[in-house]
Amino acid sequence: MESPFTEKYRPEKINEFCLPDRIQSKLEKLIKKKDTGHLIFQGEAGNGKTATAKAIIQLLVPTNNIQINGSKDNSVDFIKNMSVKGMGSALYGDEGKRIIFIDEADGLTEKAQMLLRVPMEEQSHLCNIIMCFNDASKIIDPIKSRCLVFNFNPNPLFNEEEEIKKKLLKRFTNICKKEKIKLSKDQLSEIIDNNWYDVRKMVKMIELEA
């Protein structure tokens, strides 16, 4: 059975993502250094946070990472055993620093986040953490201060919506060509506008026309 478009056309390189240039350029520099430091990706659901984090992992440390779903695995004991011990047992291998990725980190309690503070500093030479939050208010300040924070929501002051829409239109036009889907640019623009800013849903709407 063929993979759904959301998987089939999941970007694998940072320059394939429809991100604001202010985010894309900085991430490209971090990847070039092969050391991201601790990162927080925040913003609305569906805007590429998780896919970007997974792409970074595959580019830098495909076999030296731990991935956690914070909405399910969020107890203090689990975070202590997986994240804290995972940082403490990390070794600097051929791929570089281990990356611990906590998706849907909104689900972590304040106590669970507090557990990460000290090891994030003491083990930063061996391990980086990437955390994705839909709700920025759920991030405690001590964690935020230890991370580079990227807000994935388009900034209206810099006309980022139009910037991203142009990138999405180009990406979706290429998908339609590969899949021989007859959707005009106006129709694709309508899909983008009607589902703003949930890229997963946009891709699913295009797949319905296949």
Q: Report the pLDDT value the prediction gives residue 68, as an integer from 0 to 100.
A: 92
CB 131 within 8 A of CB 53: no
The mean per-residue pLDDT over the stretch 104-126 comes to 92
The residue count for the chain = 210
Span 17-33, pLDDT tens digits: 899 999 999 999 999 99
pLDDT, the chain, mean: 91
**Residue 99: strand pairing partners:** 65, 128
Q: Report the pLDDT value the prediction gives residue 188, as an integer from 0 to 100.
A: 98
Phi, psi of 204 (to 5 degrees): -65, -40
Question: Model confidence at 138, in pLDDT bands (50, 70, 90)?
Answer: very high
Model confidence at 93: pLDDT above 70: no
Model confidence at 1: pLDDT above 60: no
CB 153 within 8 A of CB 47: yes
The mean per-residue pLDDT over the stretch 81-102 comes to 82
DSSP states of 19-52: --HHHHHHHHHHHHHT---SEEEESSTTSSHHHH
Residue type, 112: A
Identify the residue with better confidence: 187 or 92.
Answer: 187
Cβ-based neighbour number of residue 5 at 10 Å:
20
Q: Report the pLDDT value the prediction gives residue 206, as an integer from 0 to 100.
A: 97
Q: Report the pLDDT value the prediction gives residue 65, as an integer from 0 to 100.
A: 93
Cβ-based neighbour number of residue 144 at 10 Å:
16
CB 38 within 8 A of CB 128: yes
Task: Report the distance separating Cα 142 and Cα 181, nearest Å.
Answer: 49
Cβ-based neighbour number of residue 190 at 10 Å:
13
SS3 102: strand
Span 2-11, pLDDT tens digits: 689 998 998 8
Span 44-75, pLDDT tens digits: 988 889 989 999 999 999 999 999 999 888 88
Exposure b/e, 81-93, CB count within 10 A at least 16 = b? ebbbebbeebeee
Task: Report the distance separating Cα 32 and Cα 112, nearest Å.
Answer: 32
Model confidence at 76: pLDDT above 90: no
Classify the phi-psi angles of 135: left when phi > 0, otherwise alpha if psi is within -120 to 50, otherwise beta: beta
